[in-house]
Amino acid sequence: MVGHVSVTDGSDHEAVSLILKLASTRPNIPRRTLFNYKRADFAKLRETLSDIPWDICFLTNSVDDAWVKFKDLLLISADQWVPKLVLKNKKRSTWLAQETIAMIRHKDRAYLKAERTSKQLDWTRFKNLSNTVRDLTRKHHHDHLDTITSNLHTNPKPFWNWIIRIRNGISCIPDLSYQGLSLSKVADKANAFNYYFISVFTKEKMNQLNSLRNITSIEDVKFDEVEVYAALCRINPSKSCGPDNIPGKFLVESALAIHKPLTKIFNKNRRTPQRLDQSQCHTNPQKRPKTPAIEL
């Protein structure tokens, strides 16, 4: 792995030179699996969900058990009538043209030949191809940016996808300095903001508060099936799913078949002191590079 180690003498500091042989490999990125809505049969999905005896979700008094069973039945039914699509990993930029890709391969072959022969003519040919590839990639990149910015008002999605890619790895909240401590964890930052807002919040006197009479208590509130159905129909199916991993497309398309068990779960959660367990909602936090700290 390490070879040709030598010590160069000639000054008051000795330099050690060596050749380190490393194999550069591309990181293995797992493929993404998505639902293919274009080939889905939502009529069959609604029919399947309508035939499910939803009472099996409420055999126990636990709200968490009812929600988990409901979610499992919904996703199992969706797997039957909504096929999945495996996305291929993109190993190159989408804005690269085929002529540029062919030129890049031509340049790589020229580099291998120049390294093998060590002739000046081959190295000159490789440098010329490298300059051509650089000019082509810059041109196509500029054309791509001009296209997405010119269509910003009619099709803003490519523009914001580009913004997300260039901002990937940038932390929204940098490290905080609170009471002499440097906070880098998300939970510590949230607690620091909480303590800070509490410390500066105006404290009201209890005798100056408005009367709390004639205020409807939470026990008097009840979810209605019509309201739950209307709320499901108002979901934007183009948005990404939440921590429950249920796509909004499923909720909208199957609203007529699932609004009754959902209403029962909501009312059961309201009557039960136990609330939905947040551990059922899984998130995938990603580590981000550190940025300069700010002080509260």
Q: Residue 188: its pLDDT value, please?
A: 85
Q: Does a structural domain hold residue 17?
A: no
Q: Does a structural domain hold residue 228?
A: yes
pLDDT above 60 (res 83): yes
pLDDT above 70 (res 35): yes
Question: pTM value?
Answer: 0.50
pLDDT above 80 (res 196): yes
Which class for 187: exposed (0-12), middle (13-18), buried (19 or more C-beta within 10 A)?
exposed
Q: Does a structural domain hold residue 11?
A: no
- Residue 83 tokens read as 């096929």
- Residue 41 tokens read as 């049969």
Range name among 53-67, 187-201, 210-224 with the lowest pLDDT average:
210-224
CA distance 291 to 296: 15
Look at residues 169, 166, 170, 127 and name the one whose alpha carbon lies nearest to residue 144.
166
**Choice between 252 and 274, residue whose per-residue pLDDT is larger:** 252
- Residue 17 tokens read as 């030179």
Over range 156-161, report the average pLDDT.
Answer: 84
Confidence of residue 157 (pLDDT cuts 50, 70, 90): confident
**Choice between 289 and 175, residue whose per-residue pLDDT is larger:** 175
CA distance 175 to 295: 9
Q: Residue 208: its pLDDT value, please?
A: 64
Range name among 30-34, 46-50, 132-136, 179-183 with the lowest pLDDT average:
30-34
Q: Does a structural domain hold residue 70?
A: yes
- Residue 129 tokens read as 């191809």
What residues are paired with 20 via a beta bridge? 2
Is the separation of the CB atoms in 267 and 55 below 8 Å? no
CA distance 149 to 137: 18
pLDDT above 70 (res 295): no
Which class for 45: exposed (0-12), middle (13-18), buried (19 or more C-beta within 10 A)?
buried
What residues are paired with 176 via a beta bridge? 183, 294
Q: Residue 286: its pLDDT value, please?
A: 42
Is the separation of the CB atoms in 45 and 29 below 8 Å? no
Q: Does a structural domain hold residue 287?
A: no
CA distance 84 to 5: 54
The percent of residues above 70 in pLDDT, for the chain, comes to 75
Domain count, the chain: 3
Over range 92-120, report the average pLDDT.
Answer: 87
Residues 238 and 187 placed together within one structural domain of the fold? no
Q: Residue 77: its pLDDT value, please?
A: 93
Q: Residue 109: its pLDDT value, please?
A: 93
Q: Does a structural domain hold residue 25?
A: no
Domain that holds residue 143: 92-166
Q: Residue 22: its pLDDT value, please?
A: 63
Residues 83 and 101 placed together within one structural domain of the fold? no
pLDDT above 80 (res 93): no
pLDDT above 90 (res 149): no
Residues 57 and 98 placed together within one structural domain of the fold? no
Residues 84 and 223 placed together within one structural domain of the fold? yes
**Choice between 12 and 70, residue whose per-residue pLDDT is larger:** 70
**Choice between 133 and 287, residue whose per-residue pLDDT is larger:** 133
The contacts of residue 31 (CB under 8 Å, 6+ apart) are 86, 87, 88, 89
Confidence of residue 108 (pLDDT cuts 50, 70, 90): very high
pLDDT above 50 (res 119): yes
Domain boundary among 139, 166, 193: 166
Q: Does a structural domain hold residue 213?
A: no
Q: Residue 46: its pLDDT value, please?
A: 93
Q: Does a structural domain hold residue 3?
A: no
- The single-letter DSSP state of residue 208 is G
Strands 294-295 and 176-178, sheet pairing: parallel
Look at residues 60, 59, 64 and name the one whose alpha carbon lies nearest to residue 280.
64
